[in-house]
Structure 1
Amino acid sequence: MSDAKFFAKGKAAELRMELKSDKKDKNFARRKTTLKRIVANMTMNNNEMVQLFSDILECMHLNSLEIKKMCFLYLINYCRVKPDLANKALPILLADIKDQSPLIRALALRTMSCVPLATYTQAIVDPLHKLLGDSDPYVRKTAAFGVAKLWAADSRLAEKSGLIEGVNQLLVDDNPTVVSAGLAALTDITDKSEGMKLAIGYQDASKLIKILPDCNEWSQTFILNALMSYTPQDPAEALLMAERLSPRLAHSNAAVILGTIKVILYLTHYVSDDAAIDMLVRRFGPPLITLLSKPYEIQYVALRNCFLILQQYPHILQSNVKVFFCKYNDPIYVKVAKLEIIFLLASEENMPEILRELREYASEIDVQFVRKAVRAIGKLAIKIEGSARDCIDTLLDLVATRVSYIVQEATVVIKNIFRKYPNRYESIIAVLCRNLDSLDEPEAKAAMVWIIGQYAGRIENSDELLDDFLFSFKEEAVEVQLALLTATVKLFVQRPAKGQELVLQVLKWATEETDNPDLRDRGYMYWRLLSSASGNPEITREVVMSDRPAVTVESDRLDEKTLEEMTLNIGSLVSIYMRSANQIFKGSKSKHLEPSPALRKAYSYGPTEDQQMNVDASSLMEQGEDDDTAAAFAGPNAFAAHGDLLSDE
C-alpha cells in the first residue's frame, strides 16, 4: 500500500473494527496499517478520529515501537479534546519510561513532555530526575529537552524540583550530543527567563570548541549558539577562540557556517588587533560564496546575512561582486536580495560592469524586478558621485524605450538625483517632459510635478505643464495634490505673471473643496504666507525655495547599535526579518555586547526608544520630497528614511 492511499477519508466505525484483536494478525501488521490510516486522517483534520481514543489506548499496550509512535502522536493531538481519556494513558507512559529499550523510554518521556495537561506536568518530574542520569545518551538528551518543555509549562515547578541543576550536570557529560542538548535546553530557558542568565567561562568555552568536530550538525549549532554566552576578558583570549573556530567555516552545513560566522563576529568586538580582525573576517568570503550554490531557500538566508556582514566589512567581497549577479532562473526574492548586495558592493571601480548588469535587468519580464533595477541605478548615482553621469545616461537610455513602468520609475529616481546634485543635470528635464503621457502612477506624477515646480523658472512652458496636471486635480491621489499645490506656489514665486491665476485656483480647491486635512491645512498655510508677504515677495521665496537637504545614502546603513543586535542574531529569523528578537519571539531577550575589559567600544546597554521601533534592513529608501513647506519649517531633520532599499514605494 503506497503512502498516498492512507490519506483516503475513513469512517471511525470501520477503523474501529480493523483495530480489533485478531489472532491471525502476525506482528500487528493489520493494526499498523489501520493506525497509519488514522494518523493520515488526523493530519487531514478528520474530526471523526477523536471517537477512537479508547481503541488507541488499548493499542498503546502492544509491545511495538512503531505502534507506540503512532498512538503517542494521536495522544498528543487529541489530549486537549479528551483530557479524561488522555489521563488514562498516563500509567502506560510511566510504565514505558521504565522499559528496557532506550528508544521506548525516550519516546514515552518525549510524549509526556508534549502533553499540555497539569497531571502530566506534575507526573513528569520524577521520571526526568531519573532519566537525566540514564545510561543511554539518547535518553539523557531527550530528558534535557524535556526539562526545557517543563520549564515552559511551569517554570516554578522546574526550578523548585532542581531539574535545572540536573541539566547543568549534563554539560560535563562524556557524550558531545548530550552536552549540546543540555546547552540547548539551558539557552532556551535563560533566553525566556527574567532572572536567569547563561554564563560560560573561558575553560568551558575551550572544551566546547574542542568537542565540536565530534558532533553532528544539530549539536554543533546548539554549541555555537551557547558560545554567544561566553564573554572574553582578554583580547588575546578572544582572538585564540576565534582562530580555533575558523575551521568550522569549511563545514558543508549552512547553519554551522552561519553559526560560526556569528560567533567569530561576536568575538571580534573583544579583539584589539585590527589586522587580526581583518584576517578573520576575510575568511567569511569563500563559505558565503559557497552557500550561493545551495537551494534557493538557503541562498536567500545566506544573502540576508551577507547584507548584515557587508554593512560592517564590505571589503571582504568587494572583488566578488559578479558572484551576486542574478541568474535568469533565480526566484524574485533571491534576485531582490542579490540586488541589495550589489548596491552595497558598488564602487567607482566596478561601476561599469554593475551598470551593464542592471541595464540587462531592466529588460526582463518581471515588472517588480525591473522597477527595483531602475531604482538601484538611481541610488547608485546618489551613492557614487563620480559615476553619476554614467548612471543618468543609463536611465535616459531606459526612458527612451518608452515602457511605461520604466519611465515612471526613472522619473522618481531622477527627482532624487536632482536633489542630490542641484543645478547640475537639468538638461535632461526636456527628455522627461516629452514622456509625460507615460505617467499614470501617483509617485511618478508627484515626482514630475516636483521637478516642474522646482525648475519652473527654467522651463519655458512650466505653467502649461502644470495646467495639464491640474485638469484632473480633484481626482488625483493626495500625494499628487500636495505636490501640485507646492509646485504652483513655486511657479508663482519664480514667475508671478504666469503663476498667479494657477495658484489662486489651486489654493481655492485646497481650502474650500477638499476633505483632506493635510491638503487643506497646507493650502491655508500657503495662503497666509502669500498674503502676509505680499509686500515682500523675498520672504515667500526664502521659505518656499529654501535649499533642500541633499539626498544621501547614509541612511541606507544601520546605526551601530541596531547593527550590533542584528549581527548577534545571524542565522536566525532576526537576520531574515531584520527585526528585534523580542518582536519576533514572544518573551525572548534582545542581545547586546556584554561589558568586559576587552570590549573595543562601550555602548549604552539595554534597548533605547529608537530600538523599540521596527528595524528593517530593506527599509532604507530615502523618502521622496513632496512636502517642501513642511521641510522648510521643520529644518533638515524633517526627512525620515523609510521604504524598501530598492522598493517601488
Structure 2
Amino acid sequence: MPYLGNEETVKELRRALSNPNIQCDQLRYRNTVLRVIRSMSQGVDVSGLFSEMVKACATVDIVQKKLVYVFLCSYAAVNPELSLLVINTLRKDCQDPNPMVRSLALRNMTNLRLPSLVEYVEQPLTAGLRDRAACVRRVAVLGWAKLHHLQPDSEIDAVVVNELYSLLRDPDPVVMVNCLRALEEILKEEGGVAINKPITHHLLNRLKECDLWGQCEVLRFLQRYRPKSEDELFDILSLLDASLVSPHPPVMAATLSLFLSLCSGVPSVSLAALERVRGPLLAACGSGSREMKFAALCHIQLLLRSIPGLLGAHYKRFFCGYAEPAYIKQRKMQVLVELVNDDNVGMLLDELKGYCTDVNPDTAQTAISAIGRIGRSYSDKCLEILTGLLGLKQDHITSAVVQTMRDLIWVCPQCSDTVCSSLEGCEETLQDSQGRQALLWLLGVYGERISSAPYTLEGFIDEVKSEISPGVKMELLTAAVRLFLCRPAETQDMLGRLLHYCIEEEADMCVRDQALLYYRLLLCGLDQTRRVLQARRSDPSLGVFIGRPAEPVGQWARSFNTLEPLKDGAVETEPASRGSPEHVTFDPKPRSDLPETLKKKTSTPANTSLCVFFLQGCEGAREEEDCVWVEECIECPTVPHCSPQSLQAAMQLVNIQALAFTPPQALPWRVYLYTHARRGTARRSLVLGELLYTGAACRLGDGRAEDEQTEATAAGRAEGEDGERRGIKVTLRLQPRDETCLRGFLSVLTTVLNTLTEHSD
C-alpha cells in the first residue's frame, strides 16, 4: 500500500526530471530515474511522474531505458491513455541497430498488458519473428503467447501459428523451446501443440543443444507422441539413452517419465529403465539441496512400489544425518522400512533405535513407528527395542511405543505376552491422549493377562472428571466393560462409578451416549454383552499380508515427475492392516509359467453372459449409494487348493489386489479382493469382491427372472435347480454405479480363475 504524505518527494523528483541541466548530464539523469524506481519500491505513489518518465525513455543509455521500462510497465494500467505516448518510442526502438534494444522494446511492449495497444504491437512482433538476432526472436515468440493470454477470446491467426511451427527448426535452441511454449498457450483450446513424427525426431536430435530446463520442456512435450511401430519405439529410446543417466536430476526424471509413457505396453523395458536410474537417483539423494533431496526420496518411494529390492544393497545411503531437517529424516525412514531384509535387519534396527531419541519428537515417533512396521516380520528383535525404549520414561517416546505395540499386537498376536508384561507403570508417563487411548485399548483387550489392569483402570476412572479428551473417556468406557466381562469381581464397583458419572454428569454427548449403550447392553445380560464386545472380529483362518505386493509400473507412471508424490506427505509404505492376525505361509516357488499363460488369456477376455441382480430389500438404499452389486457362481473347484502365492501373483497380473485369504484346502475358503477400474475418461471406480467356496452348491438369489436362471453363463459352469450352482461364489460391489465396467471385471476374474484351474490340473 502506498505511503501517505509523500507529495514533497514526488514534487522534488518531478522538478529533477524536468531540469534541463540534469537532462543534459546522462549520469545525473540516470541517477534521478533510479531514485524514482527506489521510491516506487518503497511504496511511494509515483504514478504522477508518468509523463516525465515517458520522456526519459527517449535515450541511448540502455540502462536508463531498462529502468524507465520497469516504471512504465508498473503504472501502465493506471495511465492507459498516457501509455499511448510510449508506443511510438517503443516502435522506434524495435528498429534500433542494437539487438538488445530491439529485444528490450519488444518485451516491454507486451508487458504493458493493455488490450487497447494490441493493434500497435502485432506488427513489431511479426517482424521480430524474422529478426536476424536470436535474442529478438526469443522475445517475439513469447510475445505472441502474451498477446493471446491478454485476449484469449480473439481469433487465432493461422499465419502466426504456421510461422511459429516453422520456427521449431530455428537454429537457436531457446527459440525452438519458446515456440513449443507459445504454441501450447495459443492452441490450448485445440489441445495444445501437435507433435508428429517429423517434429518428434527433430526435437530428439536437437535435445542435447538445449539447456537444462529446455530439455525438460522438450521431453514433456514428447510424451504426446506415440510411435507407430516397435522399431520406431526403440529408435526413440536409443536417442534418449544418454539423457536417462544424465547427472542433472530434472533431465533424468523427465526422461524416465517419457520412457514409462512410451513403454507402457512393454513392461520389461520399463523395469530395465528403472534399474538404470538407480545411480542418478542415489546421487540426487546426496544433493546439497534439501528440496532436491526430498523430491528424490519421494520418487524413490514410487519406484520401490514396483521393484522393492531396487536399492536393497544401498540402504546405508538412506541413513539420516544429524543436521538434516525432520521432514527428510522421516522420509528416509519410510524408505528404510521398504529396504529391510534378513541380511540388513539388524543394522537397520540399530540405526532406527538411535533415531528414537532424536530431539525432534516427530522424528522420534516416526522412528518408533518404523520399528513397529518392521516388527510385523521381525517381531522378536523389534519388541526388544520397543521394550527398552519404555525404560526411558519420556512422554512422547512412551506414547509412540504404546501406540506401536497396539498396532503390532493386532497383526502379530504371538507378541501379546511380551507386550502385556512390559506395560507395567506406563500410565505414569503417558500424557497425550493418543497414548492413553492405546494403553486403554490394550488393558481392555488383554486385561486378563495384565495383573495390574484393574488398578490401572481405577486410576483413570478416579481422574475421569479432569480428563479433557472425549476419545480417552470413550476408550475408558470400552476397556472397563471388557475388563468387567473377564474380571468382574475386581471391576464391578469402578465400572458402576464410571457409568454413573458418564450418564449423569458428563457434558459430551458422544461419551454419554456410549455410556448409555453399555448400560443398556449390560441390562440385556452378560452373554449379550460378550457377543458384542468379545465377538470374533473376523474369520480366524484369514491371514494378513506382510509386506506389499509389487505394483505394475503403470499404476504410478503418470504421477512420476509431478507434484503428486510430494503432496503425499504421509505416504504409507505398507497399508495398515486391521484384519485377523494369523499369518499365512506362502509357497516360496509359485508357478513360473502362470504369468505368460494368464497374459495370453486376459488379452482377449472370455465372452461370458452374466446374470446380474440386486439383493432384495436393499435395492433402494444401494441406488442412493450409487453402487451396483453382482453375484455369480464359477466352477473352479481346484482354485481353493492353489497356493496363496500363485493366487496372489495371478491376481496382480490383471491389477487385482488380494486383501486376505484363508489357507489352502480350508473350508470355508474365502478371498477378499479389490481393484480400481476406469472406463475412458470417466472417474475411477472401486470394485470390492469376495470369493467363497464351501464345498457345497452355492445359492445365488431368489429374485431373478426365469430366463436368467436358465441362461448359460460360460463354458464349464454347472447350474442346478432352484438357482444353485456348483463352484466358487463371487460377490462383487462397484461404486460408482457402472454395470458395464462390473461385467468386464467379472469376465477378467473368471479368466484368472479358469487359468488357475487349468494349471492345477
Q: When the two structures are superposed, what TM-score results if normalisation uses the length of structure 2?
A: 0.68
How far apart are 1:210 and its partner, in Å? 0.9
Separation in 1, partners of 2:549, 2:424:
30
Instruction: Tell me the equivalent position of 1:242.
Output: 237
Structure 1 residues 171 and 450: alpha-carbon distance in aligned structure 2, compared to 1, 3 A threshold:
same
2:213 to 200, 218, 221: 218
1:354 aligns with 2:429: no
1:218-256 Cα offsets, whole Å, 9 max, x none, are 321221121122223444433432332121244443322
- The answer to whether the Cα contact below 8 Å between 2:259 and 2:270 also exists between their aligned partners in 1 is no
Instruction: Tell me the equivalent position of 2:592.
Output: none
Instruction: Tell me the equivalent position of 1:270.
Output: 265
Structure 1 residues 257 and 395: alpha-carbon distance in aligned structure 2, compared to 1, 3 A threshold:
same
Instruction: Tell me the equivalent position of 1:260.
Output: 255
1:119 aligns with 2:116: yes
Instruction: Tell me the equivalent position of 1:447.
Output: 438
Instruction: Tell me the equivalent position of 1:485.
Output: 477
Separation in 1, partners of 2:118, 2:340:
57
Instruction: Tell me the equivalent position of 2:299.
Output: 305
1:320 aligns with 2:318: no
Structure 1 residues 126 and 156: alpha-carbon distance in aligned structure 2, compared to 1, 3 A threshold:
farther
Structure 1 residues 24 and 130: alpha-carbon distance in aligned structure 2, compared to 1, 3 A threshold:
closer
1:86 aligns with 2:78: no
Amino acid at match of 1:28: Q
How far apart are 1:533 and its partner, in Å? 4.7
1:392-419 Cα offsets, whole Å, 9 max, x none, are 2122222222222211111111111011
Instruction: Tell me the equivalent position of 2:275.
Output: 282
Structure 1 residues 367 and 31: alpha-carbon distance in aligned structure 2, compared to 1, 3 A threshold:
farther
Instruction: Tell me the equivalent position of 1:373.
Output: 367
Mapping for residues 431-580 of structure 1, pairs under 5 Å:
431-474=422-465, 475-534=467-526, 536-543=528-535, 563-567=556-560, 570=561, 572-578=562-568
1:209 aligns with 2:204: yes
Amino acid at match of 2:251: V
- Higher RCO (Cα < 8 Å, 6 or more apart): 1
Q: Which range moved further: 98-107 or 475-484?
A: 98-107
- The answer to whether the Cα contact below 8 Å between 2:447 and 2:483 also exists between their aligned partners in 1 is yes
1:139 aligns with 2:142: no
- The answer to whether the Cα contact below 8 Å between 2:129 and 2:140 also exists between their aligned partners in 1 is yes
Separation in 1, partners of 2:431, 2:176:
62
- Structure 2, unmatched stretches of 5+, are 1-7, 570-602, 604-653, 656-676, 687-732, 734-761
Task: Write 1 or 2 for the structure with the bigger share of strand.
Answer: 2
Q: Which range moved further: 465-474 or 234-243?
A: 234-243
1:177-203 Cα offsets, whole Å, 9 max, x none, are 21111112234556xx45424442334
Separation in 2, partners of 1:141, 1:112:
14
Amino acid at match of 2:148: W
Instruction: Tell me the equivalent position of 1:130.
Output: 127
- The answer to whether the Cα contact below 8 Å between 1:236 and 1:271 also exists between their aligned partners in 2 is no
Q: Which range moved further: 366-375 or 320-329?
A: 366-375
Instruction: Tell me the equivalent position of 2:73.
Output: 76
Amino acid at match of 1:411: V
- The answer to whether the Cα contact below 8 Å between 1:490 and 1:544 also exists between their aligned partners in 2 is no
1:606 aligns with 2:681: yes
Separation in 1, partners of 2:72, 2:240:
43
- The answer to whether the Cα contact below 8 Å between 1:381 and 1:388 also exists between their aligned partners in 2 is yes
1:184 to 159, 181, 185: 181
1:543-592 Cα offsets, whole Å, 9 max, x none, are 4876799887878999988724311xx0x44443249xxxxxxxxxxxxx
How far apart are 1:63 and its partner, in Å? 2.2
Separation in 1, partners of 2:508, 2:549:
32
Partner of 1:209, secondary structure, is helix
1:569-626 Cα offsets, whole Å, 9 max, x none, are x0x44443249xxxxxxxxxxxxxxxxx9xx999644362689xxxxxxxxxxxxxxx
Instruction: Tell me the equivalent position of 1:7.
Output: none
Q: Which range moved further: 258-267 or 535-544?
A: 535-544
Partner of 1:156, secondary structure, is coil
Instruction: Tell me the equivalent position of 1:419.
Output: 410
Instruction: Tell me the equivalent position of 2:396.
Output: 405
- The answer to whether the Cα contact below 8 Å between 1:303 and 1:338 also exists between their aligned partners in 2 is yes
Structure 1 residues 560 and 259: alpha-carbon distance in aligned structure 2, compared to 1, 3 A threshold:
closer
Partner of 1:270, secondary structure, is coil
Separation in 2, partners of 1:550, 1:443:
28
Q: Percent identity?
A: 25
Instruction: Tell me the equivalent position of 2:63.
Output: 66
Partner of 1:322, secondary structure, is helix
Structure 1 residues 605 and 545: alpha-carbon distance in aligned structure 2, compared to 1, 3 A threshold:
closer
Instruction: Tell me the equivalent position of 1:615.
Output: none
How far apart are 1:521 and its partner, in Å? 3.8
- The answer to whether the Cα contact below 8 Å between 1:113 and 1:150 also exists between their aligned partners in 2 is yes
Q: Which range moved further: 497-506 or 60-69?
A: 497-506
- The answer to whether the Cα contact below 8 Å between 2:390 and 2:398 also exists between their aligned partners in 1 is yes
Separation in 1, partners of 2:296, 2:117:
41
Q: Which range moved further: 26-35 or 420-429?
A: 26-35
Instruction: Tell me the equivalent position of 2:381.
Output: 390
Separation in 1, partners of 2:248, 2:37:
32
Amino acid at match of 2:65: K
How far apart are 1:451 and its partner, in Å? 0.8
Amino acid at match of 1:362: C
Structure 1 residues 53 and 139: alpha-carbon distance in aligned structure 2, compared to 1, 3 A threshold:
same
2:330 to 328, 336, 344: 336
Separation in 2, partners of 1:165, 1:484:
74
Partner of 1:409, secondary structure, is helix
Structure 1 residues 460 and 73: alpha-carbon distance in aligned structure 2, compared to 1, 3 A threshold:
same
Separation in 2, partners of 1:453, 1:508:
19
Q: How many residues were matched structurally?
A: 574
Separation in 1, partners of 2:546, 2:142:
46
- The answer to whether the Cα contact below 8 Å between 1:304 and 1:575 also exists between their aligned partners in 2 is yes
Q: When the two structures are superposed, what TM-score results if normalisation uses the length of structure 1?
A: 0.79
- The answer to whether the Cα contact below 8 Å between 2:58 and 2:89 also exists between their aligned partners in 1 is yes
Partner of 1:31, secondary structure, is helix
CA-atom RMSD, angstroms?
A: 3.4
How far apart are 1:27 and its partner, in Å? 7.5
Amino acid at match of 1:483: E
Separation in 1, partners of 2:27, 2:468:
71
Structure 1 residues 25 and 477: alpha-carbon distance in aligned structure 2, compared to 1, 3 A threshold:
same
How far apart are 1:329 and its partner, in Å? 1.9
1:445-468 Cα offsets, whole Å, 9 max, x none, are 111111111111222232221121
Amino acid at match of 1:506: L
Instruction: Tell me the equivalent position of 2:667.
Output: none
Structure 1 residues 504 and 124: alpha-carbon distance in aligned structure 2, compared to 1, 3 A threshold:
farther
Task: Write 1 or 2 for the structure with the bigger share of helix.
Answer: 1
Instruction: Tell me the equivalent position of 1:587.
Output: none
Separation in 2, partners of 1:578, 1:545:
31
- The answer to whether the Cα contact below 8 Å between 2:420 and 2:446 also exists between their aligned partners in 1 is no
Q: Which range moved further: 68-77 or 248-257?
A: 248-257
How far apart are 1:442 and its partner, in Å? 0.9
How far apart are 1:22 and its partner, in Å? 5.3
Instruction: Tell me the equivalent position of 1:36.
Output: 34
How far apart are 1:290 and its partner, in Å? 1.9
Separation in 1, partners of 2:522, 2:536:
10
- The answer to whether the Cα contact below 8 Å between 1:228 and 1:266 also exists between their aligned partners in 2 is yes
How far apart are 1:285 and its partner, in Å? 1.3
How far apart are 1:312 and its partner, in Å? 2.9
Structure 1 residues 541 and 391: alpha-carbon distance in aligned structure 2, compared to 1, 3 A threshold:
same
Question: Which structure has the bigger radius of gyration?
Answer: 2
